[in-house]
Structure 1
Amino acid sequence: MFRISDYRNCRHYGPLIAERVWTAWWQDSGVALVDFTRHVDEMADDRPIPAAFVAHDQDGYAGSAFLIESDLDERPECRPWIAALWVEEGKRGRGIATALLRAAAAGAAELGHETVHLCCRRHLESFYETRGWRVEERGVGPHDLSVLIHRRKDA
């Protein structure tokens, strides 16, 4: 069993979240881990966005996802975004990613956003589509990313 919490209520996971996300997506970007860790710390301030959601269980950290203003320079009009969805390797396949996506999308909805976006590599599209996301565009930016959208059910 696992729980999803607002990062503001479990900041002790910050260094681990930063390390996982930085290693997965940022280590070759020129951004230092210490700078990325500060970015994660900002998700605990008073602003509603950026925000982070943390999955944890009896063993500790299980995964996380961010709710941010923008994730693709090529699509500045799209706001907000779910980004950096991560589930620990040994904890995958238990519904944690789905729960994190729902929590982040609900966070966006609570702020009045009818839609939320994310980007991924093309081979991951079906993972998101089976969870209610729709592909909006493919081949975006230098990493050939797909942009997906999720619309609030009551919108």
Structure 2
Amino acid sequence: MNRTATPFQISDLRTEPGYLAVVGERLWQAWWKEDGYALEDVLTLLENSLRSDPIPTTLVAHAGERFMGTVSLIASDMDERVQYSPWLAALWVEAESRNQGVGAALLAAGMQRSKAEGVERIYLCAVEEKSAYYRRLGWEQIETDVGGMNIFTRAST
């Protein structure tokens, strides 16, 4: 499907806290609900992104008031690999906003944010079905099938 890209901006959740509920609901539905977590658990984690500490940080893509996607910069995303830090995690793009560069822009903004904090290298993990996307964006796969996830790294840019 050929879609016309919608102009959007990326904001820190600290400056756009009105998106907290929708970000929490999307992440809960996608990754947490099935494991038995309550929506309130996810919202509590996201509220940490509202504090002044640089990590965690949650970024939101939006066009005016319309939520388009999110990604978070967190200290650790995998208990099995605590030696890797920080991570870009929970990349989510709304179905109607996919294939418009929103995900790539969120990842780039997260990398820029990490570089501004003095981070030289950043990590992420993805299931095999999503791994080709990250490779296309220049991420280097450094481990395979760690708890069902592939681990990627990239220099902060």
- For the aligned pair, the TM-score class normalised by the smaller chain equals over 0.9
Aligned to 1:102: 108
Q: How does 1:67-78 map to 2 (within 5 A)?
A: 67-78=73-84
User: Partners of 1:150 and 1:22 in 2: how far apart?
Assistant: 27
In the alignment, residue 4 of structure 1 is paired with which amino acid?
I
| Over 6 Å off, 4+ runs | none
The alignment yields a C-alpha RMSD, in angstroms, of 1.0
User: Partners of 1:48 and 1:6 in 2: how far apart?
Assistant: 11
Give the TM-score of the pair, scaled to structure 2: 0.93
In the alignment, residue 145 of structure 1 is paired with which amino acid?
M
In the alignment, residue 126 of structure 2 is paired with which amino acid?
C
Aligned to 1:22: 28
- SS of 1:28's equivalent? helix
In the alignment, residue 123 of structure 1 is paired with which amino acid?
E
CA deviation map 1:54-102 (0-9, x unaligned): 0000351000000000000000000000000000001101000000000
User: Partners of 1:45 and 1:96 in 2: how far apart?
Assistant: 25
Give the C-alpha shift of residue 152 in structure 1. Answer: 3.1
Aligned to 1:35: 41
- SS of 2:70's equivalent? strand
Give the TM-score of the pair, scaled to structure 1: 0.94
- Which structure 1 segments of 5+ residues have no match? none
In the alignment, residue 148 of structure 1 is paired with which amino acid?
F
The answer to whether the 8 A contact 2:114-2:156 is kept is no
- SS of 2:89's equivalent? strand
User: Partners of 1:139 and 1:62 in 2: how far apart?
Assistant: 30
- Which structure 2 segments of 5+ residues have no match? 1-6
Aligned to 1:146: 150
Give the C-alpha shift of residue 39 in structure 1. Answer: 1.1
Aligned residues: 151
User: Partners of 2:156 and 2:21 in 1: how far apart?
Assistant: 32
